[in-house]
Chain A
Amino acid sequence: MQKISKELNKNKTLIENIFKDNPNFIAKELTIFGKSACIYFMEGLIDATYLADYVLKPCLKYKDENFDALNKEINKSNKKATKNNLSNLKTQINKSSKSSNIIDYILKNILIIGKLEVNDDLDALVKEVTKGKGIMFVDTCSKYIILDLEKVQQRAITEPPTSAVAKGPRAGFVENIKTNISCIRKILATNNLKIETTNVGKYSNTMIAVMYIEGIADKKIVNAIMEKIKKINIDGIIDSYYVASFLEEHKYSIFREVGQSEKPDIVSAKMLEGRVTILVDGSPIALTLPFMLFEDLQSSNDYYSENSHSSFVRILRFLSILITIALPGVYIAIQLHHYKAFPLKFLVTIINTTQDLPLTPFLEMLLVLILFEILYEASLRMPKYMGIAMSIVGALILGDTAVKAGLVSPPSVMIVAVSGITLYTVPDQSEQISILRFVFTVVGGILGIYGMVLFGLYLLIYLNDFDSYGVSYLSPYAPYYEEDTKDGIFQRDLLMMRKRPKSLHNKNKTRIRR
């Protein structure tokens, strides 16, 4: 840890050498208390008006006559000082400045910025400058002042696209971590809300904040998370997903172990249950741990509306997942292996529609599935003004022309379309479900219903073995916690959820008191 020097010129040389290839690295020299000072900052990252109004003006205008006189005396006394004189002078300086040194004095009496820090580490200095902070050196001082002049450029707080609600708060996180923290603070106005921050990323120096409620969250989990985050040794963190990758305990699994949310109300509610939130600067997606699969079946809307309706909707979501995963596979399995399962009238329809098709049922289904995936990807990437044209092309080509041309059968298109619609009832799991849909289709085609059941059982056993920070992935149903099932598929009234989830290793179980 390299420290800075007391001499300003030496510091200047040092710093200018570090940032020599940065044309937007600016140095502003000034005098304060008769001493030379220098402010360093990155042009474009700081708020210039803020610098001028709250730093430069006060510094330049400041005239503490007493301090000037004392300073002169100090200078004089340095030349021919007597012990008594020095001690007197020091006492006077102490009285008038009310601080032990100049830096302290400047912090308390001159600068008007709210957040000011002091440091003497050179590496930290470099990080702060690159982050958009200003650095102030004063000659003869062994420390520098960190000026929070960061220009906060962010988009407005809007409703996140993947977490839209009919009723309830619509605020979403933005890319600035401080704003995000403030959003959570507004909801959880308690001093028990603890935030532990760290910077990660060799070149990005990204700030990561780990938030939890003391007295509710399990400290072991917090420590485990902090430990993992501190061990991250990477060039740069661009998004919270980078951090999530480090926090996951099972690599090579398609199932995610870290919860994600873009809404402060969801994240706050999760923290109140005992979870830990991780915010990453530059990413609007907050991470929550531990994570259970059932969380994706829950939506914030469920808690802001009638619980009977919420239960109904959760059942629908669950059924939608099953339909998405299983429907194409079941259709193929029945066509290839279990024609007995079709009722007669449906069988007649299948026979009529699959007559004289050039592709076998399996190939046909795979083709339609792949085409739909391509359509989805294209719709994500294409410019908005082309959206209408593409939707017409997609609908006409896939839905109508392909069927009329006898390339694919209407039941296949319909099944994949239904499966595609149900896929997005649970958007957080859409990636996993999309892959599983393919796998089940292949398995169903190869082994029929037997293969699908076998693979389904394998998946269930695999998920049951999938603990995330000591919490079972399929809680609260496996293992079964009766109390937790009050917020399960059948959601009970909020007043009945008096205890925090038992599946999370939280403290202070009661959340609603009589």
Chain B
Amino acid sequence: MKGNLKKVFRFKTFYILLAIALFMLPTTLYMPSQAQSRAIVTAIGIDKTEDNLYEVTLAVITPKSGGQVGGGSMVETGTGQTVAIAMHLLSINFGKKLGLQHCDSIIMSDDVLKDDITNVLDYFIRTNNLTSDANLINCPKSAKELITQGASSQASSVANINDIIQYNNDFLYSTNVTIYEFYNRYFSEAGAIYMPIIELEGEKNILDSYDTKTQDNEGGSDSQSSSSSSLSSNSSSSNSSSSDSESSNSGASNSKDSSGSTSSGGDATNSSKLTSNGKCAVIKKGVKIREISENERIALNILSKNSDKGIIGTSNFTEGALNNATIIMQLVNKDLSVKGYFENGKPKIKFDVDMIVKPDEIIMDKMDLDAITGLTSFMTPKLKQALIDNINKCINELIENMKTYQTDILFVYDNLNRFHHKELENFLNTLEDKSDYLNYVDFETNINIRGKI
């Protein structure tokens, strides 16, 4: 007996490990793949109904059988008094746990942004499910329509929202707002941030691209009947097979209606698509204040550190070979320095911008040979001044709106606070309303434009 016990004890590590393995193995043998047992969400849309309930729309990946490449998307909507309740009900309807880890976009309509969105986002910061890198996006009309259209459209899919946002962020004016970035700004003194806007748009004339008119959403009407009970879930789903950028799917879309409501899916002939046009909304303390104008966008493009692409232009310019021309210059390189300081107790912000531009397009009634030659330098002092005047006009508009709406989207407070904390404190103490500091800040811009032939 002792001898046998000794033999067993010699292999104690092995036996312990074997025991644990056997104990845990049965569950593992029959454990399904997490990818199959979860509804993988790629986009979340949040709307508000007339009854003040939150309507949450999820775009979920559906598998394609037969070894086909790419995934389809299914759109499902749930309603609840809070986002958490709606998500819970959606989970029940899917029959699966929601997998939010791959969700990169949270789209909120204007209705939702009327109130402080921290109430909406609270669910997402507490769940360990969602990546903190999800982008917050504003949609003027209906987030549900946007997601449904995006899931069913041939031209662009839900995944392309991120491409649009990312381009804006990388090259234009840092509009990428993740949840944590939002909270960062929310709890800062400035409290304002700008959020990208994505909307549904029909096909546009290419020449109209310089216009800033927003087009109405050409998506089909969607009437959703909502239950009076706050805890009930009213879901309509549209199954659609959307194409990936790689596959060439024929894109037949099936739309299933429920509860007598119509939801329009993507039609092969209807070319409404997701567009941004570089628009963004200004959010202060979680509430949408306004949308920035075209001129403000140009100003933001210039005054943003990260951006190195953009266009500036002037119209009705006459000099030399140019006669009443509209000139569009492309930004090649930009060097920006922002300096915040105090002068006699008064805060000042100075923007020094040094830009290198090259002519992108010249439009005039009668084209001159000299105008199209690449040997002529167009960067005359007069043209320079005209461009600078145009830029200053845009910047002034931006600053005026900032002051009017008290939205510090140029990080004025942070610039002043960094190296002049004491002076800023003293300055703010002199004000009756500390949040009104923007009105007392002097802005100075020093723009230098150089031409690249």
Contacts and interface: CB of A to CB of B under 8 A. Distances in A.
A336 B34 contact: yes
Interface string A326-361: 000000000111111010100111111111100011
A352 B68 contact: yes
A133 to B, nearest CB: 45
A100 B36 CA distance: 94
Contacts of A354: 33, 35-36
B175 interface: no
A402 B95 CA distance: 30
B22 to A, nearest CB: 10
Interface stretch (A91-99, A121-129, A378-386, A439-447): A439-447
A299 B108 CA distance: 61
B42 A344 contact: yes
B65 interface: yes
Contact of B29 (A339, A349, A363): A363
Contacts, number: 79
B419 to A, nearest CB: 41
B29 A447 contact: no
Interface centre among B29, B33, B68 (most CB of A within 10 A): B33
How big is chain B's contact interface, by range?
20 to 34
B35 A347 contact: yes
A349 to B, nearest CB: 8
Interface centre among A339, A347, A348, A446 (most CB of B within 10 A): A348
Contacts of B71: 348, 351-352
A362 B101 contact: no
A446 B28 contact: yes
A202 B163 CA distance: 78
A264 B159 CA distance: 61
A351 B35 contact: yes
A351 B101 contact: no
A340 B35 CA distance: 9
Contacts of B11: 252
Contact of A344 (B33, B38, B159): B159
Interface in B115-164: 131, 159
A347 B21 contact: no
Contacts of B31: 336, 360-362, 445
A410 interface: yes
B35 A339 contact: yes
A355 B35 CA distance: 10
A336 B61 CA distance: 18
Contacts of B30: 360
B451 interface: no
Given A348-B61, A351-B40, A351-B61, A337 B70 contact: no
Given A348-B61, A447-B24, A360 B35 contact: no
A360 B33 CA distance: 7
A47 B36 CA distance: 74
A336 B65 contact: no
Contacts of B101: 339-340
B33 A336 contact: yes
Interface in A353-404: 353-356, 360-363
A352 B63 contact: yes
Contacts of A347: 35, 40, 61, 102
Contacts of A352: 63-65, 67-69, 71
Nearest to B101: A340
Contacts of B34: 335-339
A360 B24 contact: no
Nearest to A252: B11
A17 B30 CA distance: 70
Nearest to B38: A339
Interface string A241-254: 00000000000100
Nearest to B99: A339
A445 B33 CA distance: 11
Contacts of B268: none
B32 A360 contact: yes
Contacts of B69: 349, 352
19 contacts: A335-B33, A336-B31, A339-B35, A339-B40, A339-B99, A340-B102, A350-B33, A352-B63, A352-B71, A353-B67, A354-B33, A355-B36, A355-B63, A360-B31, A360-B33, A361-B31, A361-B33, A410-B67, A446-B21
Interface of B: 11, 21, 24-25, 28-36, 38, 40, 42, 61, 63-65, 67-71, 99, 101-102, 131, 159
Given A338-B34, A339-B99, A340-B102, 6 more contacts: A339-B40, A347-B40, A355-B63, A362-B28, A363-B29, A446-B21
4 closest Cβ pairs, A-B complex: A348-B71, A339-B34, A340-B101, A355-B63
